[in-house]
């Protein structure tokens, strides 16, 4: 009888927490009325949503009216970028607004901005990163021009786990705005991979727009959040009944809002213990891999360093096809990733791995191992035994 699969692809999606699953069911039953209605049940549902917002606002150190519940990280990002960039204030600031980002952003940011550029609605500068995936504040600031309206930088890279210096960059942007007596450029960060790794206090990060995704922190799919600082210019990109200040119109899903809220609380509460546990799993796994594959290479920042997500282990096996390796491992009951799940069906080499200087051959010999809170040391040891079996197949 095959043992339960070992799931090491948590950067793609996390296992939904059992307690969160139970919460969804109980909230669905208790708060089934439309929270936009006038009935007592509707008012109770609306009050419950306000309580969720209050909880999240306390953790982010912001006000409740800056938070908007969305359907995913991609939804949050599209709202943030498109809603901001088509606002009247942005159009008045520059005939063709300029945006600065990096060349390792998630496809939700990268493809949205490139599409807007192709429509001649913006001009775009993608700043390069070093071999660890880090972008320097100096290079970002050097790319800013008078017509720059937005800087967008990912907080934690979904492929190689790089933790960017968001607070440092945000502080430099804020200083320049004050020096030039202008609110531009505003600062956006895709923080979808960050809640279990970093404490997300928006004032310390100096961000104006922040996006989150519940499915990366053990909440159900279809849950997300947009933080928009007060007075950040914005225009709707969706239309409906005017819920959530018209930014995310439509009947609110009370149960999924509850799930996101509780998952975010749990993620932020376990930041320190999570990093310690994830780092232990990464170090043991890497040690075992090096014993089996002496030439294995780690991609991205140093394991255990301050600039790498503790749950991320992105490695290359010279001369090995990463896709074949992942398929063999799956047959052994071990699930790993090949890169961003959002580009899994593309034959193109990962733009992230290309950006850090990897050749197409090196990139295609890579796999991504990402741990979640459910993973254990015994699973790591079982997985290493699976790697040992697969090694015989690869080199037969």
The residues carrying an active-site annotation are 342
Peptide bond into 75 cis (omega under 30): no
> Which residue from 84, 92, 83, 100 is spatially nearest to 148, judged by alpha carbons?
100
Q: How far apart are CA 385 and CA 380, in angstroms?
A: 9
Token digits of residue 66: 């800056």
Measured at the CA of 236, the angle between CA 231 and CA 239, to 5 degrees, comes to: 145
Nearest Cα to Cα of residue 102 among 91, 93, 113, 94: 113
Residue with tokens 């550029």: 117
Q: What is the DSSP letter of 342?
A: G
Inter-residue contact 336 to 326 (CB < 8 Å): yes
Residue 334 DSSP class: E
Q: What is the 3-state secondary structure of 147-193?
A: CEEEEECCCECCCCCEECCHHHHHHHHHHHHHHHCCCCCEEEEECCC
């Amino acid at each position: 009888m095959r043992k339960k699969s070992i799931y090491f692809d948590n950067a793609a999606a996390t296992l939904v927490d059992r307690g969160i699953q139970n919460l969804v069911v109980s909230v669905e039953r208790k708060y089934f009325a439309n929270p936009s209605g006038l009935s007592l049940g509707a008012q109770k549902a609306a009050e419950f949503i306000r309580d969720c917002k209050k909880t999240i606002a306390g953790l982010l150190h912001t006000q409740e009216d800056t938070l908007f519940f969305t359907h995913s990280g991609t939804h949050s990002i599209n709202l943030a970028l498109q809603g901001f960039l088509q606002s009247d204030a942005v159009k008045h600031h520059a005939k063709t607004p300029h945006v600065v980002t990096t060349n390792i952003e998630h496809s939700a940011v990268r493809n949205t901005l490139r599409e807007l550029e192709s429509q001649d609605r913006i001009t775009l500068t993608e700043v390069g990163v070093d071999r660890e995936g880090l972008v320097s504040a100096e290079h970002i600031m050097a790319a800013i021009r008078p017509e720059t309206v937005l800087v967008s930088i990912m907080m934690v890279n979904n492929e190689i786990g790089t933790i960017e210096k968001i607070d440092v960059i945000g502080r430099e942007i804020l200083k320049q705005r004050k020096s030039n007596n202008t609110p531009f450029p505003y600062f956006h960060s895709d923080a979808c991979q960050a809640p279990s790794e970093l404490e997300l206090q928006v004032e310390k990060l100096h961000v104006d727009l922040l996006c989150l995704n519940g499915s990366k922190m053990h909440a159900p799919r279809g849950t997300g959040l947009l933080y928009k600082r007060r007075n950040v210019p914005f225009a709707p990109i969706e239309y409906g009944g005017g819920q959530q200040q018209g930014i995310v119109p439509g009947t609110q899903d009370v149960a999924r809002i509850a799930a996101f809220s509780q998952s975010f609380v749990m993620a932020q509460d376990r930041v320190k213990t999570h990093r310690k546990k994830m780092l232990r799993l990464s170090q043991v796994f890497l040690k075992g891999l090096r014993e089996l594959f002496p030439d294995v290479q780690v991609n991205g920042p140093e394991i255990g360093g301050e600039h790498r997500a503790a749950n991320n282990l992105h490695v290359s096996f010279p001369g090995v096809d990463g896709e074949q390796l992942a398929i063999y491992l799956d047959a052994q009951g071990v699930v790993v990733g090949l890169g961003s799940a959002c580009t899994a069906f593309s034959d193109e080499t990962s733009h992230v791995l290309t950006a850090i200087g990897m050749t197409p051959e090196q990139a295609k010999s890579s796999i991504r191992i990402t741990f979640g809170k459910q993973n254990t040391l015994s699973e790591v040891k079982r997985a290493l035994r699976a790697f040992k079996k697969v090694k015989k197949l690869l080199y037969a």
